[in-house]
Amino acid sequence: MEPNYVLETKNICKDFPGVKANVDVDIQLKTGEILAILGENGAGKTTLLNIIYGLYSQDSGEILLNGKSSPIKNPNDAIKAGIGMVHQHFMLVPVFTVLENIILGSEVLWGPFINKSKARQKIIELSNLYGLEVDPDTVVEDIPVGVQQRVEILKALYRHANILILDEPTAVLTPQETNDLFGIIKILKEQGVSIVFITHKLKEVLEIADRIIVMRRGKVVGETIPSETSEKELANMMVGREVLLQVEKGIAQPKEIVFEVKHLTVKGSSQMHTVHNVSFEVRAGEILGLAGVQGNGQTELVEAITGLRKPDEGMIILDGKTMPIQSPRVMVENGMAHIPEDRHKHGLVLPYELTDNFVLCTYYQQPYSRGAIRDEKAILENAVELIQRFDVRTPSPHSIAGNLSGGNQQKVIVGRELSRPVKIVIANQPTRGLDVGSIEYIHKTLVKMRDQGVAVLLISAELDEIMGLSDRIAVMYRGQIVATVNAADTSREEMGLLMAGLKQQQSE
């Protein structure tokens, strides 16, 4: 055994019903290094980390700490062994203060009571040492996501973690917050903390990692260091075939205005969730990107224009007709396709079979229903055809939608929405949480729709996606469109400034 590995796994195997999540996984973590584990969704990265943190138990294999075999049966064992984990979905109690969240389970005591002032002092010391600026007495639900993540990291450090596991830490962050996080990770490394970092974002891996392990279908398929590899090579390793990272698309040929939103105002529950006097139009044959950091009113805007939420003011014009308020069916019948942000909540009925999910918008129409009676045969034929056309990987058209992987679920939604005669596609975060292969497919499909003369409104928090696909870009900041620019003549930096509200477009 080489003693300089703080953490090692040997032949870890884990099966879930129907899936081999981990097959003989061996990884090694050196003291004070940043190890990135790269892989698509479902590659088994999170499973591996959950095993290391004691949330799952492995079917076979062992974990070694500093060269010694150390069974980790539950998170308590992991915490005692100096392992801290920042989960993808934060494990913070929203109504607790930062301080309460950090000390929970390892409280500083004064007799039988919690010694808050001593705990506060300890937290402030830690945050100064590692450059993690937080206010211990604010309530967690009131602070931005980036700061919540710092609280998660502090939670681990407070428990004397010297191994920090970060599960997709950048998925929820803005570009600026990501930069801040990378700064913090570097400080942690200097202080001797060893870091395991999971992601499927290639740029980040090359920027921050000392060493990269690539996983695919539960196995480790490669190991490399950033100076010896490229985004392209990593993507190919992850997917197991050649992938296109940049969508190929020609110049847009915009025609008539298909979709128009005028003076739309939605009063939300708080400032974060309002839309204030937003107007824009989308033409046939163009992709309008709606950029903005998450939580600047995009969700509310999309809900209002797809009829899911009642706008307080404003007009929605589709194909020359003013749409009645809050009437998704009328909008769908007039040619609107909606790929919703939350595919589980608004995109699919998870316990239904694929056959039924494919006709959610059209079940009441010919040929799927004759009078009040469903035509099962037509519904099945439709499903079989769409599964083939949109390359949905499923054992059967009668499979339950909830059992499919995220990428395939998204293909079901895309198939349902785009197989109808549509005039406008509203795609809200269409590739969120998807792997490189599925992203490539969805991007190609959207560009194809555009070239067929459909208007596309793309809402995304991923700057690369917006820049790569859109012909024009509208930037949302605090519920307003602060700028509309041509994608071709705008730089990433400029977009970043606009999204952060640091720059306003000169009025035309």
Partner 1 sequence: MTSSSLSQVKTYSFWYRYKRYIIPSVLATLLLIAIIIFYRLNPAVTQAVLASTIRQSTPLILGALCGILCERAGIVNIGIEGQMLLSAWTAYMMNVWSGNLLLSVIVGALTGALLGMLLAFTSVTLKLNQIIGGTVINILALGLTGFLYQTGMTTKGKLQPIPLGGLADIPLVGPVLFNNPPITYTAIALVFLLQIYLFMTPWGLRTRSVGEHPRAADTLGINVFRTRYINTIVGGAIAGLAGAFLTLEAVGSFERGMTNGRGFVALAVMIFGKWNPIGAWLAALLFGFANAMQTQFQFMGTFDIPHQFIGIIPYVLTIIVVSGFVGRSRPPAAEGEPYEKE
Q: Which residues contact partner 1 by CB under 8 A?
A: 50, 53, 55-56, 74-76, 79, 85, 87, 91-96, 100-101, 103-107, 109, 112-114, 133, 135, 138, 142-144, 146-147, 155, 176, 500
Distance CA(82)–CA(72), nearest Å, equals: 11
Q: Which C-beta is closer to partner 1: that of 105 or that of 240?
A: 105
Measured CA to CA in angstroms, residue 248 lies from 134, 287, 384, 413, 468 at distances of 44, 14, 29, 23, 9
Closest to 267 in 3D by CA, of 306, 292, 316, 304: 304
From the number of C-beta atoms within 10 Å of its C-beta (0-12, 13-18, 19+), residue 112 rates as exposed
Q: Which helix (H) or strand (E) holds 288?
A: strand 287-291
| Number of other CB atoms surrounding residue 137 within 10 Å | 11
Q: Which C-beta is closer to partner 1: that of 156 or that of 354?
A: 156
Q: Which C-beta is closer to partner 1: that of 176 or that of 229?
A: 176
Smallest distance, Å, CB 149 to partner 1?
A: 11
Smallest distance, Å, CB 140 to partner 1?
A: 10
Query: In sequence order, what are the residues at sequence separation of 6 or more whose Cβ sits closer than 8 angstroms to the Cβ of residue 402?
Result: 348, 350, 351
Smallest distance, Å, CB 313 to partner 1?
A: 26
Q: Which C-beta is closer to partner 1: that of 46 or that of 362?
A: 46
Distance CA(274)–CA(262), nearest Å, equals: 16
Closest to 322 in 3D by CA, of 474, 417, 311: 311
Measured CA to CA in angstroms, residue 7 lies from 2, 133, 190 at distances of 11, 29, 18
Smallest distance, Å, CB 362 to partner 1?
A: 35
Smallest distance, Å, CB 210 to partner 1?
A: 27
Tokens at 306, concatenated: 């797809």
Whether the Cβ atoms of residue 50 and residue 202 lie closer than 8 Å to each other: no
Rounded to 5°, the CA angle 269-273-275 comes to: 115
Q: Which C-beta is closer to partner 1: that of 119 or that of 474?
A: 119
Query: In sequence order, what are the residues at sequence separation of 6 or more whose Cβ sits closer than 8 angstroms to the Cβ of residue 461?
Result: 174, 292, 293, 294, 298, 429, 432
Q: Which C-beta is closer to partner 1: that of 92 or that of 413?
A: 92
Q: Which C-beta is closer to partner 1: that of 155 or that of 443?
A: 155
Strands (E), 17-119: 19-30, 34-39, 60-65, 68-69, 83-86, 109-110, 113-114
Q: Which C-beta is closer to partner 1: that of 144 or that of 437?
A: 144
Smallest distance, Å, CB 418 to partner 1?
A: 35
Smallest distance, Å, CB 425 to partner 1?
A: 33
Q: Which C-beta is closer to partner 1: that of 53 or that of 280?
A: 53
Q: Which helix (H) or strand (E) holds 178?
A: helix 175-190
Smallest distance, Å, CB 94 to partner 1?
A: 7
Bridge partners (DSSP) of residue 38 are: 199, 214
Whether the Cβ atoms of residue 275 and residue 301 lie closer than 8 Å to each other: yes
Q: Which C-beta is closer to partner 1: that of 21 or that of 454?
A: 21
Smallest distance, Å, CB 135 to partner 1?
A: 5
Smallest distance, Å, CB 53 to partner 1?
A: 8
Rounded to 5°, the CA angle 474-480-482 comes to: 50
- The one-letter code for the residue type at 290 is L
